[in-house]
Structure 1
Amino acid sequence: MTREGNATLNFIPEFACYNTTFDLSNIIWRSDNVISERVPLLSIQIAYNILASSFFHHILKQFHLPLTVAQMLGGVLLSSSFLGRIPGVFHMIYRPEGIMSVETFANIGIMYYVFLTGLEMNCDTILRSSKQAVVIAVASILIPALVGAGFFALHNDLAGGSSVALTAKGYMFWCAILSVTSFPVLARLLSDLKILYTRLGKDALTAAILIDAFGWVLFSLFIPFSHAGGKPLLSLICTLLFIAFCFCVVRPILARVVEHRMRSESWNSSKLLDVMMGLFVCAYITDLLGSHHVVGAFVYGLILPSGKFADLLLEMLDDFVTAIIVPVYFASFGFRLNLESLWSENHSVLLPLFMVFLLAIPKILSSLLVTVYYGMSSRDGVGLGLLLNTKGIMAVILISIAWDKSVLFSNQTLTISYHAPLSNSCLILDPYAFTIMILAVLFMTTVVSPFINAIYKPKLRFKQTQQRTVQKLWCEAELRVAACVHNSHQALGMIYVLEATNATRTSPLHVSVLHLVELTRRGTGLLVAQIDNSNVQGGSSEQYGSQEEFETICNAFNEFVEEYKAVRFDTSGIVATYETIHQDIYNVTEEKRANLILLPFHKELSSGELETTKTAFSDINQNVLQAPPCSVGILVNRGLRSLSTATMSIIVIFIGGPDDREALSIAWRMASHSATKLHVVRLLVSGTEVAEGKAFQNDSSGVLSTEMDSVMQKELDDEHIFHFRHKGLHNSDSITYSERELRLETGEEIPLILHEIDQKGCDLYILGQGSGNNYTVFKTLLEWCDSPELGVMGDIVASSSFGTNSSLLVVQQYTMERKSKLHCSRKHHTSKVCDDIL
């Protein structure tokens, strides 16, 4: 039996008709051979979508554009204006009989994507949102909704008017499309731009979560009323009752089952797939009740427990859904896109471009109004509006549904054939409006990254922090420290060092604890969890990202603050890839106006020896040392103890340079604590030539001199030592000072002099990272260091052959006129020199 039908839209007439053969012997499908006829075609379609989106993403990722943009461009490439003009290519990829298959596959896949969105959404963040975020969200919903209604009315006038019922439906869809913001896409975009943990990033992401939640409410309400006929009010009530049943009854049951399984560690792939059956059940029920099937998928993801269980599901599904299924869905609207309709309906060519530009204005306008009300800068208002313009899968789903409803309204007989041409007088979205909305979504999401980079450049602010060092800090000013930790053991070592800084009422201490967590997957749950700085969900099975680890760190600092009333602290979780996490540290440190960044060494004490915990920690430390906005200290903890139970003996070895002056300034502050003793040893180096330094111009003669740097640094060193001896040494019995001559020939004398100094015993060495680097011998030795981030002196003290159990704090002072070279160890791999301009 054969039946002919018009399976596509009337603007691609050459592909409108196709034959379908029904095989009565095929009891299950009652169609042609699905395996031999449809599966190969679907495989080609999926392969094209993956290749097209991967190609565009490879090009656009260097511009920090979201993956959604690449996937949408892959769909646009399928339009009749591009591949549609090549009948052979288009017929090979998207034959008419394959359109139904790819749409079915795409709609099943989008259920998984929406399910993962609900699984990653943090309901607690919504409930704890600040008043400012709520106001921003409300303004970003109401103003675009009102403007969207005006745009739809204008379009209706240009199209010749429409019925009242369909006009109301059109208002709903247009308002919802302009109002929604995709928080998963925005979270990844903020992370890539490295502004997620700034005030602008947190405000934008919090507002985006509220807008997205409201968008799902609108989605659930609009869908029943968008149907032609039926009982929409009854459908809406039934859908709301089902959602309430899921939250009140199903969610507690699932929570108990999942918790029991997680405690017994009895989860495996088959049991996880059993849980996934609930996705199809919920999707089927909401579709049966007259709503959309993605509503049930989203609700099911929302009621499942978060934490490690959610991570297991995301690890199993995220790559498959994001990389394979979503590109197919975005490509499914490509053959509906008709760019020729923009200039084929007696409209000016500039009018569609003007409409696309106008559709991006409402969010910016609403954000500007709110920021003016709260006294924020207009730059932040524009940036916030641009960020909230980020669209994603929700906007595309709404546009697709509006298009599908248009097709149904154009032909009330629900058959395979669409013989009647589409009438503009009864459409929610005609081809002209459909194309404008798709281009507007693509435009708004694409321009966010370049515009934010143009108006919001955090690196420019670092130039204003040249003097943010401990040496330049006023005696009675608050010391602000950013303590970076990966686990609770590192947090204890940081606390003992901070305890020694002797916080008082006249010189208090503010600690910003930065819990560094590696982003090991594409999901946004980890990123969203950092908004209120009170919750961190583990990104992997490793101990460094667990919720228990974060709570232990918070408890340790709480006890520290309770004991010392002049100390206050705040916690921030930073989730990023280890290759780029140093940029987030820069931004948060700048936001906190810190004077010092404390970093943990990549080795920890185990059985009396320092053992490597993770080599990536060393890379993070070296990256942070490259261009920080303030001074940096790296702590090598060999068993520091609390000053409430023991005394601390501190030794500073002073050779010269800005790093040594910063190290002495920190030790000088610690020496005011009653339980510390400080001994400063100045090494007067002789017998070696001065290495080439930075060239300075002599204004009087116009001659460049490499010796001037050494002379200036020597004068600054003498001045700093003079102030230390005059103000510190003579006012405290716990401070001692001595000078020793160090005659360098080959560098073998350095370990000998360090062993002599260490004979009296020491709990903590404080050294400059660039100590001695202005001498040729030190620069040569640095190339052979196992840990170049510690410098030559620090690498010797931290080595197992030094024969001491002293802890070590290596300090680098921030200065703009400095060049340093980080040398990678030649012992384990090929030596290389990395020039880092500070």
Structure 2
Amino acid sequence: MDDAQKHIMRSQVSGCYTTGVSNGNDIWQSDSVLPFFLPSFAAQVAFMLFANRFLYYFLRPFNQPPLVAEILTGFLLSPEILGTTKFFSDLVPLKMAITGDTISYVGLVYYVFLAGLDMNLETIISARKKAISIAVAGTIIPMVIGGAIYALFQSMLTASPEYLSHYNAPKAYLFWTLIFSVTGFPIVTQILADLKLLYTGLGRVALTAAMINDFINWIMFSLLIPFEHEEKVIYSLLSTTAFIFVCFVVIRPYLVELIVRKTKQNEWDNYQLFFVVMGAYVCATVTDLLGTHPVVGALVYGIMLPRGKFTNMLIEKTEDFGAVYLAPLFFATCGMRLQIFSVIKDQGLVLVVMVLFLSFIPKILSTVVATRFFGMPALDGVAIGLLMNTKGVLPLIMLNIAWDKQILSVESSSVMMVSVLLMTAAAPLIINAVYKPRKLYKLNKLRTVQNLKVEAELRVLACVHNPRHATGFINILEACNAIQMSSLRIFALQLVEITGTTISLLAAHINTQSCSEALTKSEEDLENITLTFNEYEERNENTRVETLAAVSTYSTIHQDIHTVAQEKQATIILLPFHKDSNIESVLVTTNKAFQNINQNVMRDAPCSVGIFVDRGLGSLFKVNLRILVLFIGGPDDREALALAWRMSKHASIQLSVVRLYLFGQAAEVDSSPQEESRGLLSTVLDCEKQRELDDEYVNTFRLKAMHSKDSTTYSDKAVHSREDITQVLNELDKVGFDLYILGQGTGRNSSVFSELMKWTDCPELGVIGDMVASNNFGSCSSLLVVQQYGFGGMVFENTTHSQNPGQGTKNDHDDDDSESGDVFVRVEQ
């Protein structure tokens, strides 16, 4: 048998299965189903899911998407790895291959249906030219270069001319080049979320471009598939086009109206949702009968359905069925077909490595070329190119078709499968190693209120969880907006906990503003938050507001807050306290996770941070606001005084500053082991140096502020012990201030405060802030606790806080005039 016959036979064997019927019957023309196929399939599913979960959690520290683990699971079970061992050959027998493939397509159809739900036609239509240019260039250029790579690869294969000519047909070039142009939009989203790049200019451009690219790829795939039949091509194209037209023009209006009405009335049950899900399989059957692929119908059906509350409910109830349990079987079967080691043995490692290396170039080159026209740095172009290189389910579907129909050879299919795997796996690794946004930021002492020039714009990142927080923040922001020559820029960031569904991850980036659709709770909150801040913007000429949303797990959402603060060049981050005031003015915990978020933000914040304890501050337009600053010393207290000084310029605000001088026991320096181990940091925060800075700033305040406004007062009080602190606080609270503005306490090396810190319930508020916020203290005043940027994050333990020098941020990208906000929610009513 010559080489050509071997190649063709291997291709035929890889695309066909021969099974013998040992116990035929009139109903099932195969072995009895229950004794063999059902137990074998259950064992196969259980093992694949276990192996997939194991690999997934093993690869999570490397930010690998689930697709990588799912393909590797199948590759491990391939004949080239473990498939030839007795255990695995018994686990996945050859005659189970067809059964597994068939059932996995059930999950594949649902997986593509979810991909359709992720796409938003309004976002694609309204996308700006930067994202469109990158997407179009990322489609056309890779196809052209991909064709050249395929021709080069075919010319270097060692095989007979008959074998090579069989795979030099136009169909082979079409499949190969289209795979090169594909970008997996859901995979890009997952990688950006894992790397915390969703809220950067690069992330927004990449996300929109990936969505457009993916949409174009699906259209091209729908047009390409009929050509594999070589017969009735025109019939398939015209009938599929007519089907899509009927779906969107005739069926969709009635379907949307029905779904929205039943959703608003809460009439859905599991029985009715079952019929909705079955619609995806009905559409898949129709497109299959029309000569295209079943997944085209599922994708069209997913795009048809309305977004919002119904979509989230549907995914929450049905996602495990297809996307978690059955779809991984399809990806695993793709991995099981890999014969890369055989290809390397026959064709040589050099050829395979060369093709794999060349496969990375087209997308990166096209993206760099496109981004250079818009003045983006080359590093950004490379990073976006790596993201656009990531593949999803579409290339695997095409490779399966090309494998089964013998459109691509074993060599081409195997090399392309490895290329898909490597490009998807390499993107997060390279970007995380090379493109780290924090390295683009440098120490900037102006990221504090104290060092902000009078005429400079004050940028505030107001983080809110619900509309109530937005209402409370309006009063603080109005007080900050007291200097006419200094504009106020507000970035209202809604914090949403991710629910684990695909669509919820995109809720913060895809702007669905159809008023007729039933919205989710987070979307309703976002609308109300947007309305609150926009109403405030309309009343103030020198104020600009931008409403955003961050969707992430609560354990990592602080990284998103840091990223947005860096991207927007915020001067201060405002955070809501984790307790809300009830009717009796008693603070009640709303969500303990909010406290963890606040503490995580303060650990490594790229600017100053303020935590607002709202006890019903009231409207600044109706009453005079009385503010008290309790100044003890340190950078945080200076920042608190600077913020209050800015507020004091408001016509309706009365400011009182009380400075506490520490004597005796209260002035003793903390000599605990934690303080002694600080080394260089102790020198930076030297008590004498801090006292000099405090005296200088307070004297400047007394000279300028008190002589310019009669509503500003200043007084001194002496403190000799911890009991004196409580006594002074009680005396001041009797005056009835509306708002306390306090420093968190960084830089105080007092043993008294170190001892008191051990007993605090809320260390993020500091010693004094924790006392004032305590329900036992009995105060009805609101509280704003400030931490100044530049003196490091904090370790929240039952001891004094340790500080590390903060890392400043100076973003190279200005967001004001950028065109990168295509998918990022920018709500304007």
TM-score normalised by the chain length of structure 1: 0.90
Post-superposition offset of 1:152: 2.1
1:174 Cα deviation after fit:
1.1
Q: Deviations over 1:119-146 (max 9, x none)?
A: 2222221122111000000010011010
Where does residue 766 of structure 2 map in the other structure? Answer: 791
Q: Please tell me whether residue 691 in structure 1 is matched to residue 670 in structure 2.
A: yes
C-alpha distance in structure 1 between counterparts of 2:699 and 2:353, whole Å: 69
Cα 1:707/1:686, change in 2 over 3 Å: farther
In the alignment, the residues of structure 2 paired with residue 272 and residue 55 of structure 1 have an alpha-carbon distance, to the nearest angstrom, of 32
Residue number in structure 2 paired with 1:364: 364
**Which whole-Å CA distance do the structure 1 matches of 2:381 and 2:793 have between them?**
37
Q: Distance in 2 between matches of 1:639 and 1:623?
A: 26
**Secondary structure of 1:513 counterpart:** strand
Q: Which residue of 2 aligns with 1:555?
A: 531
Q: Which amino acid aligns with 1:464?
A: L
- Paired position in structure 2 for 1:637: 614
Distance 2:390 2:756 in 1: 51
> Which residue identity lines up with residue 25 of structure 2 in the other structure?
L
Query: Counterpart of 1:738 in 2: which secondary structure?
Result: strand
1:360 partner amino acid: F
Following superposition, the deviation at residue 481 of structure 1 comes to 0.5
Shift of 1:9: 5.3
Residue in 2 that maps onto 1:823: 797
Q: What is the aligned length? A: 785
Q: After superposition, give the CA deviation of every residue in 1:219-259 in whole Å (9 maximum; x if it has no partner).
A: 110111111x3211111110011011111122112112112
* 1:163-190, Cα deviation, whole Å (9 max, x unpaired): 6996211121112101111111110111
Quote the offset at 1:552 in angstroms.
1.0
Mapped partners of 2:180, 2:607: distance in 1:
42
* Pairing 1:750–2:725 present: yes
1:494 to 468, 473, 476: 473
Which residue number corresponds to residue 584 of structure 1? 560
- Matching residue of 2:174: 172
Asked if the contact 1:137–1:211 (Cα under 8 Å) also holds between the matched residues in 2, the reply is yes
Which amino acid letter does the alignment assign opposite residue 563 of structure 1? R
Aligned residue in 2 for 1:266: 267
Query: Secondary structure of 2:544's match?
Result: strand
Deviation at 1:20, TM superposition (A): 1.7
Gaps of 5+ in 1: 1-7, 407-427, 825-831
Q: 3-state SS of the aligned residue for 1:760?
A: coil
Distance change (3 Å), C-alpha of 1:591 and 1:334? closer
Quick one: which of 490, 506, 525 aligns to 1:528? Answer: 506
User: Which structure 2 residues correspond to residues 473-552 of structure 1 after superposition, within 5 A?
Assistant: 473-523=452-502, 525-531=503-509, 543=521, 545=522, 547-552=523-528
Please list, as runs of the form range in 1=range in 2, the aligned pairs for 1:414-813 lying within 5 A after superposition.
Answer: 428-523=407-502, 525-531=503-509, 543=521, 545=522, 547-608=523-584, 609-688=586-665, 689-692=668-671, 709-744=686-721, 747-770=722-745, 773-813=748-788
Matches of 1:273 and 1:707, distance apart in 2: 65
Give the AA of the match of 1:394. L
Give yes or no for contact 2:74–2:335 (8 Å, CA) kept in 1: yes
Cα separation, 2, equivalents of 1:489 and 1:635 = 12
Q: 1:571 to 1:533 in 2, by over 3 A?
A: farther
Partner SS for 2:20: strand
C-alpha separation between the residues in 2 aligned to 1:222 and 1:24?
A: 40
Give yes or no for contact 1:10–1:16 (8 Å, CA) kept in 2.
no
Task: Give 1:531's aligned amino acid.
Answer: H
CA shift at 1:641, angstroms?
Answer: 2.1
Q: Contact 1:12/1:80 (CA < 8 Å) preserved in 2?
A: no
Asked if structure 2 preserves the Cα contact closer than 8 Å seen for 1:197 and 1:587, the reply is: yes
Structure 2 counterparts to residues 108-123 of structure 1, below 5 A: 108-123=106-121
Task: State the superposition RMSD in angstroms.
Answer: 2.4
Alignment of 1:181-200 (within 5 A): 181-200=183-202
CA contact (8 A) 2:757 2:800 kept: no
Distance 1:493 1:509 in 2: 17
The residue type equivalent to 1:352 in the other structure is V
Q: For residues 349 and 461 of structure 1, do their structure 2 counterparts lie closer, same or farther at Cα, with a shift above 3 Å needed?
A: closer
Q: Distance in 2 between matches of 1:120 and 1:724?
A: 54
CA contact (8 A) 1:536 1:550 kept: no
Describe the SS at the equivalent of 1:471.
coil
Q: Matched residues in 2 for 1:334 and 1:378: separation?
A: 35
Instruction: Give 2:206's aligned residue.
Output: 204
Q: How much has 1:264 moved relative to structure 2? A: 2.0
- Contact 2:389/2:423, CA 8 A, preserved across alignment: yes
Deviation digits for residues 411-457 of structure 1 (CA, Å, limit 9, x no counterpart)? xxxxxxxxxxxxxxxxx211111110011001101111111012211
Deviations 1:631-689 (A, max 9, x none): 00000111112222221000000000000000000000000010000000000011221
1:594-647 Cα shifts (integer Å, max 9, x gaps): 100000111112112211111111110010010100000000111112222221
1:186-265 map, 5 Å: 186-227=188-229, 229-265=230-266
Q: What TM-score results when the alignment is normalised by the length of structure 2?
A: 0.91
Paired with 2:520 and 2:222, the residues of 1 have a C-alpha distance of 38
Kindly indicate whether the alpha-carbon contact (under 8 Å) linking 1:135 and 1:370 is maintained by their aligned counterparts in 2.
Answer: yes
Percent identical residues: 44
Is 1:298 matched with 2:269?
A: no
In 2 relative to 1, CA 316–833 (structure 1 residues): closer, same or farther, beyond 3 Å? Answer: farther
Q: Quick check: 1:125–1:531 contact (8 Å CA) kept in 2?
A: no
CA deviation after TM superposition for structure 1 residue 25, in Å? 3.7
Whichever residue aligns with residue 53 of structure 1, its letter is N
Residue 123 of structure 2 aligns with an amino acid whose one-letter code is T
Cα distance in 2 between the residues matched to 1:404 and 1:280: 22
3-state secondary structure, aligned to 2:376: coil
Structure 1 segment 43-442 matched on structure 2, within 5 A: 43-86=42-85, 88-159=86-157, 160=161, 167-227=169-229, 229-345=230-346, 347-406=347-406, 428-442=407-421
**Change in CA separation of 1:125 and 1:565 when aligned onto 2, cut-off 3 Å:** same
Counterparts of 2:682 and 2:197 in 1: how far apart (Å)?
41
Please state whether the residue corresponding to 1:394 is helix, strand or coil. helix
Q: Partner amino acid for 1:329?
A: F
Structure 2 residue identity aligned to 1:125: T
Hey, what's the Cα distance between the residues in 1 that align with 2:801 and 2:794? 9
- Given that residues 602 and 618 in structure 1 are in contact (C-alpha distance below 8 angstroms), is that contact kept between their aligned partners in structure 2? yes
CA distance in 1, matches of 2:298, 2:688: 71
- Distance in 2 (CA, whole Å) between partners of 1:221 and 1:236 is 7
Tell whether the 8 Å contact from 2:167 to 2:408 is kept in structure 1 after alignment. no
> How far apart in 1 are the matches of 2:372 and 2:206?
16
Letter in 2 for 1:486: H
Task: Provide the C-alpha distance between the structure 2 equivalents of 1:61 and 1:680, rounded to a whole number of angstroms.
Answer: 51
State the partner residue of 1:3. Answer: none
Q: Measure, in 1, the Cα distance between the counterparts of 2:11 and 2:487.
A: 74
CA distance in 1, matches of 2:321, 2:724: 60
Q: 1:585 to 1:128 in 2, by over 3 A?
A: same
CA distance in 1 between counterparts of 2:770 and 2:121 reads: 48
Between 625-634 and 766-775, report the one with greater CA deviation. 766-775
Question: What secondary structure sits across from 2:53 in the alignment?
Answer: helix
Q: Relative contact order (alpha carbons < 8 A, sep ≥ 6): 1 or 2 greater?
A: 2
Q: CA deviation at 1:348?
A: 3.1
Quick check: 611-620 or 676-685, which moved more? Answer: 611-620
Work out whether residues 768 and 810 of structure 1, in 8 Å CA contact, stay in contact via their aligned partners in 2.
yes
Instruction: Supply the AA of the counterpart residue of 1:33.
Output: S
Contact 1:141 1:180 in 2 (8 A): yes
Q: For structure 2, which runs of at least 5 residues remain unmatched after alignment? A: 1-8, 807-829
What amino acid maps onto 2:557 in structure 1? Answer: I
Q: Which residue of 1 aligns with 2:821?
A: none
How far is 1:153 from its partner? 2.0
